[in-house]
Chains A and B, each alone.
Chain A
Amino acid sequence: GNSVTQMEGPVTLSEEAFLTINCTYTATGYPSLFWYVQYPGEGLQLLLKATKADDKGSNKGFEATYRKETTSFHLEKGSVQVSDSAVYFCALTAWMDSSYKLIFGSGTRLLVRP
């Protein structure tokens, strides 16, 4: 079936450290891939997306590359800030039950310490 698997958190880093949050997926066809971010007590904000293999999505210093050969879409940032502390969700669109669905991973909490 279609699913998204993210690394479990929390991920705790010091400010200016390098960030990687792993995301792998299982899907039929050619899904679009997304990273959303959720700050405490708020809704989800789209961080970046990629719609086909080898596309790189980027925004606010975050990047992720759509890797079809490894079915991955890992999120990276070269230097994190305290303000990046949030929960990050990887997601894909998949054709299921006669319609497209947005399938989410369980989320990875990032805590950045000063």
Chain B
Amino acid sequence: QLHLQESGPGLVKPSETLSLTCSVSGGPFNSIFHFWGWIRQAPGKGLEWIANVYHTGKTYYNPSLESRVTISADLSKSQFSLTLRSVTVADTAVYYCASQYTSGGETAEYFEHWGQGSLVTVSS
């Protein structure tokens, strides 16, 4: 059973950069059946997919955030990371990392395993 755990600061100042890391255990990070992704949920709101990465380094981004986001993977540490630049109060949310099933690395499907979530507040 895959286990994912987010880590990173809980408070970021406006205009600065948000950085989060997700550690994966309980299964192979280089699995051909998983993308690794980030989803966020603003307080009291719905879910928004941010980005995902395949173990080959292939990345995909939500067009609404693409200009400010970078996702990367470190196979040696079984970790993947999210960087969101120039944050505003609108970026305050719980950030989840998750595994996203893929049948062969070309399309990312449903989110099977989720981390517990990391609340990031943007405030001065």
A, B in one complex = no
Chain B residues with CB under 8 Å of chain A are none
Chain A residues with CB under 8 Å of chain B are none
